[in-house]
Structure 1
């Protein structure tokens, strides 16, 4: 009986924790990190601020976990593309396209997670996140280098350039202060331009 009670308690605690994280994620998606204050998170989750502090030491810890979960999901998607039967060139194009499209589909959340000014702890998590993205891109680039599709000299530099392009290039369209509105046609064009640029940057130039 005590085991069952303990199991139910653990389940309830995890539900509370996930509710708090989901509430914080929704607040960030609406107004950025500045709107995800502990009191606001608690109110949206339907719990007390004290309960939030039972699970997280401070706001930064909540935001770091949200960033870690978000990037882990993106990495799973990128790794699935890397493990697919496509050519390395197709994999790279699809990886960049998928990442940028997903960012543009949740503009405020993506901008906050990648670019909104934050404290050093969250900035460190951002750096770690980009390293994980780079590992996935490394896998695709290494395959293309081995099979002769890509002609770059240094794998690490090439991967850094691709990750830089697929992340920082979306600052302008994602920045809420710019109030830039893209229709779907332009959004598709924009995404394709980025993916084409990344692929052309590492491909072996065709002889005329």
Structure 2
């Protein structure tokens, strides 16, 4: 079997950091196409233009590599720093949440749909592996805290209040659906929700923002009624 050409970055010498990045990129593509169970370190190394030992050397094996791919995939959709920038910026909590929803929605329904990140995360959501704990600890929980803090500020509650948690679930769940959804779902089952259409993308973003804010307003009203 012929080895594929090495994916060298132009203008840079071949070094450990470059090789490690090439392996991660190749692994993301393979995991998105085949899933973790059917991927092999040999195929990933060949696609990266490296040797099989490199997977063990840089990542401690295919399991460690898969965990790093999950983390990188989540970062490509939404970085922790971008969330913190919104949370610590100026403006009211409601406006911060609208900005946050717009950022996530435009990433998920935009250019990210052609990357391997969505494929990897979609597979993991539908069939979690042992590496899911790595993703939760390093990416999901820190980002969730930022989101629930903003939601809590809107409702006047602590970030860990059960009401805040339920609201955050309602806000985030549509994005999980977009991550796992394939083109057949959008074109046949939900024809009005085709994220490949530019006009639909803007409408989806605005709808998610409107729906989330209306839900929070209804929740806030219910809280006032209870007291």
| Length-normalised TM-score, structure 2 | 0.69
> What CA distance in whole angstroms lies between the structure 1 residues aligned with 2:185 and 2:43?
25
Task: Kindly report which structure 2 residues correspond to 1:1-208, keeping only aligned pairs within 5 A, or say none.
Answer: 12-28=15-31, 31=33, 33-34=35-36, 36-72=39-75, 74-105=79-110, 106-107=112-113, 109-113=117-121, 115-120=125-130, 122-128=131-137, 129-142=139-152, 144=153, 150-151=154-155, 153=157, 155-156=159-160, 157-174=162-179, 175-176=181-182, 178-181=184-187, 182=194, 183-203=197-217, 204-205=220-221
How many residue pairs end up in the alignment? 188
Runs (5+) with no aligned partner, structure 2: 1-13, 188-193, 222-227
Paired residues of 1:111 and 1:171 also in contact (CA < 8 A): no
Shift of 1:67: 2.3
State the SS of the aligned residue for 1:85: coil
Higher relative contact order (CA 8 A, sep 6+): 1
RMSD of Structure 2 on Structure 1 (CA): 2.9
> What CA distance in whole angstroms lies between the structure 1 residues aligned with 2:164 and 2:102?
16
Query: What are the superposed Cα offsets for residues 33-76 of structure 1, whole Å, 9 maximum, x if unpaired?
Result: 35753223212210011222211233221121122234455211
> What CA distance in whole angstroms lies between the structure 2 residues aligned with 1:127 and 1:14?
25
> What CA distance in whole angstroms lies between the structure 2 residues aligned with 1:112 and 1:163?
23
Shift of 1:23: 1.8
Runs (5+) with no aligned partner, structure 1: 1-10, 145-149
Paired residues of 2:55 and 2:65 also in contact (CA < 8 A): no
